[in-house]
């Protein structure tokens, strides 16, 4: 039985480099596509590895056709389509795995490598983070190493002296040489508004963060997700923590378990924009950098005083974009932290008083009893908040499952929930008492990065609160979670976030504080990456180049000037490369020990009266030297043979270099023979 080391020695190293590069390129997709497709791709990759190690055989052509048909069926059954972002990438993953099963020869190898490069580019359809960029740079380097190893193995059949580190260094050098051109094209290549292509609508694409519906447990699932939802930079002093409510979808209809808004299903152009409010203070200015979340919500502080481009304000004061946010979006905003909504106009009973029949019978009885005790609708709001404060309600990230009636089970049995439980039950009690109410979802709070001047709002800051309408006061924001005593908030971080004005006696361990500090540093790097790389659009490109060109006396810059500058810069870089290669070749020639030893040998013969001609080859010169100095014929032939082998062999051996050095050292400095002196 052969050992694994022997099997690795007998296989083609280029194929192993290729498999390593494909594995790195596949890893981000394997965590994103359905499990059955990930498992199939892993099996195909492992099958080819088993073949390279001489454990398995490749399947015949008929089997490959059947596997291709099965792959198409799996993808269609998973996505109900063969096109779109998710389905298209899954199809590419499986077809690339099948290509490995028929790869045979240099042509198939090159095609598979190029498919691997294309697979790398598809990763950026889902994420453009800095870690993704570095990870895909590693995959690119591995695939280039495979191409280098394949070329050297095809060009030079004797590859026993080619080390894999040499192939890796060559690929890394190619990547390093491409970086200046990459930076130049990134900065100067004219950017057009919008994408160069439009992907089909991908309904199966993953959605993150706040959704357009809410049911028990949905928001609590985000409580441990520390990924960034958006970042905010205020132009002046930020508002107090009690006013940091980032408004998102407003939910008006309850079907007994899920809250939703039927207007969210309408096309963007058919959403009504009727809204009335009164500002009670001056507007504050800030800039939001929103991460992609695959939906149309644009988050802003209550209450927006302006709208970003291509967006509208719905009747429920939601900012709705024309298209889903599928890439990083940066927009300037102004908001009124203190405001009054629709004080004079009573809202319609539908949908703000809608309740499903047969749901929450105990809650309805409780609401009527509270209203009778309160005496007025305004007092009813305070009475319900007092009920949450005095009764043993707990705020927890791990609420129990509510399998039956979610309202009655929460209010009278479990009394343990997250913000969505409190918001849903509060709106239910309000509507049961005849008070118009609605659920508002979004984010609450945020965390100032102590290393910079911006707020970080994470998915764990997702929150749900309520709004009630009272005659003469309009819509009022009511957050029932803020009345829960700090002692009944289980998570320490939630105490900081939920407690009024962030006041609590929370103490974090030194390890937690160190981890948070490391997170702030990393987020600062990510913000710079997003600002200068991801968000480098046509407007920022124009502004950046305008500042650069202004220093050289150009008052304005258009796309023609940009292209001319790019071409001249490309010419300058290529000219620099050419000069560097020539200089490197010259320096290499000077430092080449083989050439140095042979030049020393020629100088010895020159001192003996035999000079080498300018265009004379090593063998021709050796033949003349043999005729002149036959006594040293053996040494002359050895030196000429070693020089030719070291100079023209694809991979010279170090022992031959030492032999040449020794032969030249032993060759006499000056040969004093009568025939030499006579000439």
Cβ count near 399 (within 10 Å): 19
DSSP characters over 394-425: EE-SSPPP--S-HHHHIIIII-EE-HHHHHHH
Q: Which candidate in 264, 419, 461, 602 is catalytic?
A: 419
Helix/strand/coil for 667: coil
Asked whether the beta carbons of 464 and 439 are under 8 A apart, the reply is yes
Backbone torsion region of residue 59, taken as left when φ is above 0, otherwise alpha when ψ lies between -120 and 50, otherwise beta:
beta
From the number of C-beta atoms within 10 Å of its C-beta (0-12, 13-18, 19+), residue 301 rates as buried
Query: E-assigned strands of 146-215?
Result: 213-214
CA distance 492 to 31: 31
Torsion of CA 465, 233, 224, 504, to 10 degrees: -70
Contact 53, 7 (CB under 8 A): yes
* CA geometry: angle 607, 611, 614, nearest 5 deg: 140
**CA of residue 367 relative to chain centroid, distance:** 49
479 tagged catalytic: yes
Is residue 54 part of the annotated active site? The answer reads no
Bridge-partner residues for 394, per DSSP? 416
Cα pseudo-dihedral 140, 144, 145, 147, rounded to 10:
140
Give every CB contact of residue 103 below 8 A, 6+ residues apart in sequence: 15, 48, 109, 112
- Which residues are registered as beta bridge partners of 442? 247, 463
Among 479, 523, 602, 632, which one carries the catalytic annotation?
479
Tokens 């009764």 appear where?
391
Q: Point out the catalytic residue in the list 463, 523, 602, 632.
A: 463
* H or E, element range at 26: helix 13-30
| 6-13 long-range contacts, CB within 8 A, separation 24+ | 7/53, 7/54, 7/55, 8/53, 10/54, 11/52, 11/53, 11/54, 12/52, 12/153, 13/149, 13/153, 13/164, 13/167
Bridge partner list, 455 = 232, 448
N-term to C-term CA, the chain = 69
Q: Position of tokens 């001047």?
A: 453
CB-based contacts of 131: which residues, under 8 Å, 6+ apart?
none
H/E run at residue 658: helix 654-666
Active-site residue flag, 463: yes
Catalytic residue ranges: 419, 463, 479
């Amino acid at each position: 039985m052969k050992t694994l080391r022997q099997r690795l020695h007998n296989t083609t190293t280029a194929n192993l480099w290729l498999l390593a590069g494909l594995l790195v390129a596949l890893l981000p997709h394997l965590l994103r596509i359905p499990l059955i497709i990930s498992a199939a791709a892993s099996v195909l990759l492992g099958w080819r590895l088993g073949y390279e190690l001489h454990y398995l055989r490749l399947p015949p052509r008929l089997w490959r056709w059947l596997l291709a048909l099965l792959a198409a069926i799996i993808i269609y059954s998973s996505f109900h389509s063969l096109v779109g972002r998710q389905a298209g990438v899954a199809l590419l993953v499986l077809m690339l795995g099948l290509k490995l099963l028929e790869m045979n020869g240099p042509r198939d190898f090159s095609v598979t490598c190029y498919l691997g490069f294309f697979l790398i580019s598809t990763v950026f359809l889902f994420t453009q983070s800095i870690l993704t960029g570095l990870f895909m740079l590693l995959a690119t380097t591995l695939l280039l190493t495979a191409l280098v190893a394949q070329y050297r193995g095809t060009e030079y059949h004797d590859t026993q002296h080619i080390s894999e580190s040499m192939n890796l260094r060559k690929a890394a050098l190619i990547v390093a040489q491409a970086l200046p051109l990459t930076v130049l094209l990134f900065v100067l290549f004219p950017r057009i508004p919008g994408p160069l292509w439009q992907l089909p609508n991908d309904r199966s694409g993953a959605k993150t963060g706040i959704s357009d519906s809410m049911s028990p447990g949905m928001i609590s699932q985000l409580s441990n997700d520390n990924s960034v939802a958006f970042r905010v930079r205020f132009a002046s002093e930020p508002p107090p923590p009690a006013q940091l409510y980032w408004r998102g979808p407003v939910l008006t209809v309850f079907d007994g378990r899920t809250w939703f808004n039927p207007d969210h299903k309408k096309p963007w152009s058919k959403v009504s924009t009727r809204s009335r409010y009164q500002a009670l203070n001056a507007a504050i200015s800030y800039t939001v950098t929103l991460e992609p979340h695959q939906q149309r919500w644009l988050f802003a502080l209550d209450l927006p005083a302006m709208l970003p481009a291509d967006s509208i304000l719905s009747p429920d004061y939601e900012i709705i974009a024309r298209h889903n946010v599928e890439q990083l979006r940066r927009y300037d905003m102004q908001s009124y932290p203190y405001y009054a909504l629709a004080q004079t106009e009573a809202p319609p009973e539908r949908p703000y008083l809608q309740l499903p029949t047969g749901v929450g019978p105990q809650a309805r009885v409780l609401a009527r009893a509270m209203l009778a005790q309160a005496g007025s609708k305004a007092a009813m709001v305070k009475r319900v908040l007092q009920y949450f404060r005095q009764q043993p309600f707990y705020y927890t990230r791990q609420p129990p499952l509510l399998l039956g009636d979610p309202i009655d089970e929460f209010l009278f049995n479990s009394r343990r929930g997250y913000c969505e439980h409190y918001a849903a039950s509060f709106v239910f009690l309000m509507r049961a008492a005849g008070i118009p109410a609605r659920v508002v979802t979004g984010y609450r709070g945020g965390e100032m990065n102590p290393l910079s001047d911006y707020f970080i709002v994470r998915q764990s800051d997702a929150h749900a609160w309520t709004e009630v309408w009272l005659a003469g006061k309009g819509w009022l924001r009511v957050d029932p979670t803020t009345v829960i005593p700090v002692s009944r908030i289980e998570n320490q971080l939630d105490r900081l976030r939920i407690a009024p004005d962030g006041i609590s006696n929370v103490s974090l361990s030194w390890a937690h504080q160190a981890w948070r500090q490391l997170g702030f540093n990393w987020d600062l790097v990510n913000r710079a990456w997003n600002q200068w790389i991801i968000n480098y659009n046509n407007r920022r490109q124009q502004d950046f180049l305008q500042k650069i060109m202004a220093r050289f006396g150009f008052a304005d810059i258009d796309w023609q000037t940009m292209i001319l500058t790019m071409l001249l810069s490309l010419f300058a870089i290529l000219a620099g490369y050419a000069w560097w290669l020539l200089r490197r070749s010259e320096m290499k020639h000077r430092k080449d020990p083989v050439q140095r030893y042979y030049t020393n040998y020629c100088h010895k013969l020159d001192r003996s009266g035999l000079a080498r001609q300018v265009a004379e080859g090593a063998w021709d010169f050796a033949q003349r030297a043999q005729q002149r100095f036959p006594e040293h014929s053996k040494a002359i032939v050895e030196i000429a043979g070693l020089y030719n082998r070291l100079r023209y062999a694809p991979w010279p051996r170090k022992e031959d270099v030492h032999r040449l050095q020794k032969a030249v050292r032993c060759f006499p400095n000056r040969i004093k023979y009568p025939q030499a002196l006579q000439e």
